[in-house]
Amino acid sequence: RSCSSVLWSLAKLGYKAEPELLDKLVQRTVESMEKGQNGSTKALGNLLWGLSRMGHRPPAQLLGRLEELFRNLLLRLSEEVSSDDVARTSQRSLTMTMGNILVSLVKLGYQPSEDMVHLLRQVIMKFLPDFTDNTLVMVLWSISKVERSQDPAFQQAMGERFENRIGSLSKGTLA
């Protein structure tokens, strides 16, 4: 997690790092995560947020490995974890991190397969009650940028989520 935290901190400070340094940080973090030494959702979120904030798109090979880590995270969430297994605060943190990961990937030019979009929708539906309005709007923006086909059931669920709340959403959420 330390490499991803370093990258996050550099981005937060507005530091303009050399692309080679960023690629090395990504490489080390990816290797660590692939070995299971650092597979945290937060580490992946920090790494991708830092990259997108700095406007650095890693080489295709590294981006592919990051996509695979995200896919594995989504698969784990869709299969192993029931929404009852995680404390409510952890679920909220998880959905915020998931939203940040997706937004960061989209800002890096990520183009997921249709299977990946389906998996994203599945996990979002599973944890829908735990998303804040703001995070859900970020996720929906991201999905709108990458989906190639519509899912009527997903659209219906999103419409129902916001139907009675639209008047209470802040201008910042809707911007």
- Local structure of residue 14 (DSSP, 8 states): T
**Residue ranges, the chain, pLDDT below 50:** 85, 88-89
The residue type of 175 is A
- The candidate with the shortest Cα–Cα distance to 103, out of 48, 43, 167, 58, is 48
- The residue range of the domain holding 116 is 2-174
Instruction: Look at the block and give the residue holding tokens 């389906």.
Output: 118
Q: What is the pLDDT of residue 167?
A: 62
Cβ atoms 110, 67 nearer than 8 A: yes
Q: What is the pLDDT of residue 42?
A: 82
Cβ atoms 64, 30 nearer than 8 A: no
Count the domains in the chain. 1
Q: What is the pLDDT of residue 20?
A: 93
Q: What is the pLDDT of residue 172?
A: 62
Q: What is the pLDDT of residue 170?
A: 60
Q: What is the pLDDT of residue 93?
A: 79
Q: What is the pLDDT of residue 116?
A: 85
pTM of the model: 0.77
Label residue 24 left, alpha or beta by phi (over 0 means left) and psi (-120 to 50 means alpha).
Answer: alpha
